[in-house]
Chains A and B, each alone.
Chain A
Amino acid sequence: SQQGEEDPQALSIQEGENATMNCSYKTSINNLQWYRQNSGRGLVHLILIRSNEREKHSGRLRVTLDTSKKSSSLLITASRAADTASYFCATGDSNSGYALNFGKGTSLLVTP
């Protein structure tokens, strides 16, 4: 089942701008991960944040996690055309065993 729900479904920005995507989920989680998928390709793991963490950085990526609101956000700073892709949040929880539950994704378009 798909637990995560990304918002917005689609986002269009210009190069240099920041992009923010949000993810909401329903049940208690052990960790939340963000993945990127270029058209027709497999997913690439971007960042993992554990349930006891509130913020994490990796290069131009910043992820926050609010377990009380069951939500997370992914911020991409100084976006580039190469960031154009779909972005998915995925949650791991004790009920799903080792499986990750993915949302439907946010489609990001970065124009030069």
Chain B
Amino acid sequence: DTGVSQDPRHKITKRGQNVTFRCDPISEHNRLYWYRQTLGQGPEFLTYFQNEAQLEKSRLLSDRFSAERPKGSFSTLEIQRTEQGDSAMYLCASSSVALYGYTFGSGTRLTVV
């Protein structure tokens, strides 16, 4: 593994469309996190998985957002009926049980037009 991979790097979508992002964490990391970052702000926590179990969800994660991590490997984040306010960088990170710090991916930049 060379790190956390996110796909796509950029996504432009029309308001009302659904989008899905993928994150491939470091294989030996069982913890996976999704964060959202807007311009000039720090990352905001969205959700956390330990293996395949989604253990924590922020109240930022509205009903339009859903995340999965089938089989405890890669994860997907889906946004339904996108709104302009969803425009942001979506960051995925993973960590090991020992939590020596997160390893972040390069992010997916979403623009809703």
* Top 4 A-B residue pairs of the complex, sorted by shortest distance between their CB atoms: A102-B42, A45-B101, A42-B104, A99-B45
Cα–Cα distance between A72 and B35 once the two chains are bound (Å) = 23
- B-side residues, CB < 8 A to A, are 4, 6, 31, 33, 35, 40-45, 48, 50, 55-56, 58, 89, 91, 93, 99-107, 109
- A-side residues, CB < 8 A to B, are 1-2, 4, 31, 33, 35, 40-45, 48, 88, 90, 92, 96-105
Please tell me which one of the listed residues B31, B41, B99, B100 contacts residue A2 in the complex, with CB atoms under 8 A apart. Answer: B41
| Residue of A whose beta carbon sits closest to that of B43 | A102
- 9 new A-B pairs (CB below 8 Å) besides A99-B45, A100-B102? A1-B44, A40-B89, A42-B106, A43-B93, A45-B100, A48-B100, A48-B101, A102-B35, A104-B40
Do B41 and A33 touch across chains, with their CB atoms under 8 A apart?
no
| Minimal beta-carbon separation of B101 from chain A (angstroms) | 3
| Residue of B whose beta carbon sits closest to that of A98 | B48
| Residue of B whose beta carbon sits closest to that of A96 | B45
